[in-house]
Chain A
Amino acid sequence: MSFLEISGLHKRYGPVAALAGVDLDVASGSRTAIVGPSGCGKTTLLRLIAGFEAPDQGRIVLDGQVLANGGAAVPAHRRGIGVVAQDGALFPHLTIGDNIGFGMGRGEDKRTERIVELAYIVGLDKAILKRRPHELSGGQQQRVALARAMAMKPRLMLLDEPFSALDTGLRASMRKAVAELLEAAGITTILVTHDQAEALSFAGQVAVMRDGKFSQVGTPRDLYLKPKDRMIAEFLGDAIILPASISGGFANSPLGRIAVDTNDSRDVARIMLRPEQIGLKRTSREGMSGTPDMLFGEVTESEFAGSTCTIAVRLLNNFDPPDAAAIGNTPLILRKPGMDAPAVGEIVRLTVSGKAHVFV
Chain B
Amino acid sequence: MQSAVDLGRAGLPSQMRRMPRRRAAPWLVTTAVLVALFALLPLAFIVWIAVQTGWETVSALVFRPRVGELLVNTTLLVLLTVPIAIVLSVALAWLTERSDLPGARLWAWLCVAPLAIPAFVHSYAWITMVPGLHGLWAGVLVSVIAYFPFLYLPISAALRRLDPALEDAAAALGLGPWRVFWRVVLPQLRLAICGGSLLVGLHLLAEYGLYVFIRFDTFTTAIVDQFQSTFNGPAANMLAGVLVTCCFVLLGLEVLVRGEERYARVGAGAARYQQRTNLGRATTPGLLLLVVTTLLALGVPFITIGRWLIAGGAEVWRLDEIGLALGQTLFLALAGALLATVAAMPMAWISIRAPGPLQRLLEGCNYIVGSLPGVVIALALVTITVRIALPLYQTLFTILVAYALMFLPRALVSLRASIAQAPVELERAASSLGRRPLNALWSTTIRLSAPGAAAGMALVALGIMNELTATQMLAPNGTRTLAMAFWSYSSEIDYASAAPYAFIMVAMSLPLTWLLYVQSKRMAGR
Contacts and interface: CB of A to CB of B under 8 A. Distances in A.
Interface of A: 47, 50-53, 75-83, 85-94, 102-103, 132-134, 138, 141, 145, 148-149, 151-152, 165
Contacts of A81: 172
Contacts of B165: 85-87, 89
Contacts of A134: 262, 264, 266
Nearest to A105: B174
Nearest to B184: A91
Given A102-B173, A148-B173, A83 B168 contact: yes
B267 interface: yes
B254 interface: no
B169 interface: yes
B54 interface: no
B131 interface: no
Interface string B168-189: 1111111111001001100110
B328 to A, nearest CB: 49
A138 B266 CA distance: 9
9 contacts: A75-B171, A77-B170, A77-B177, A85-B168, A86-B165, A91-B170, A92-B261, A103-B174, A134-B264
B9 to A, nearest CB: 18
B442 to A, nearest CB: 39
Contacts of B266: 87-88, 90, 92, 133-134, 141
Nearest to A148: B173
Contacts of B269: 86-87, 165
A152 B174 contact: yes
Interface string B150-181: 00000000000001011011111111110010
B96 to A, nearest CB: 22
A50 B170 CA distance: 12
Contacts of B190: 93
B433 interface: no
B172 A92 contact: no
B314 interface: no
B268 interface: yes
Contact of A149 (B172, B180, B183): B172
Given A102-B173, A103-B173, A103-B174, A93 B263 contact: yes
Nearest to A154: B172
Given A89-B163, A141-B267, A77 B168 contact: no
Contacts of A133: 266
B360 interface: no
Contacts, number: 97
Contacts of A90: 266-267
Contacts of B172: 50-52, 76-77, 79, 81-83, 149
A132 to B, nearest CB: 7
B265 interface: yes
A89 B166 contact: yes
Nearest to B265: A92
Contact of A52 (B168, B184, B262): B168
Contacts of A94: 187
Contacts of A83: 168-169, 172
Interface in B263-284: 263-269, 275
A311 to B, nearest CB: 36
For the complex of A and B, the 5 pairs showing the least CB-CB separation, nearest first, are A87-B267, A103-B173, A76-B171, A89-B165, A83-B172
Contacts of B184: 91
A138 B268 CA distance: 9
A85 B168 CA distance: 9
A99 B5 CA distance: 33
Nearest to A103: B173
A246 B168 CA distance: 53
B52 to A, nearest CB: 48
Contacts of B268: 87, 138, 165
Contacts of B188: 92-93
B447 to A, nearest CB: 35
Contacts of B261: 92-93, 132
Given A85-B169, A89-B267, A93-B188, A77 B174 contact: yes
Contacts of A103: 173-175
B168 to A, nearest CB: 5
A165 B268 CA distance: 7
B187 A93 contact: yes
A143 to B, nearest CB: 13
Nearest to A132: B262
B174 A80 contact: yes
Nearest to B271: A87
A141 B165 CA distance: 14
A134 B263 CA distance: 9
B88 to A, nearest CB: 23
Contacts of A77: 170-177, 180
Given A51-B171, A83-B172, A138-B268, 11 more contacts: A50-B168, A53-B275, A77-B175, A82-B172, A85-B165, A91-B170, A102-B170, A138-B267, A148-B173, A165-B268, A165-B269
A128 B172 CA distance: 24
A85 B172 CA distance: 11
Nearest to B187: A93
Contacts of B168: 47, 50, 52, 76, 83, 85, 89
A90 B170 CA distance: 10
A349 B264 CA distance: 60
A52 B176 CA distance: 12
A47 B171 CA distance: 12
Nearest to B172: A83
B431 to A, nearest CB: 36
Contacts of A92: 188, 261-266
A148 B170 CA distance: 10
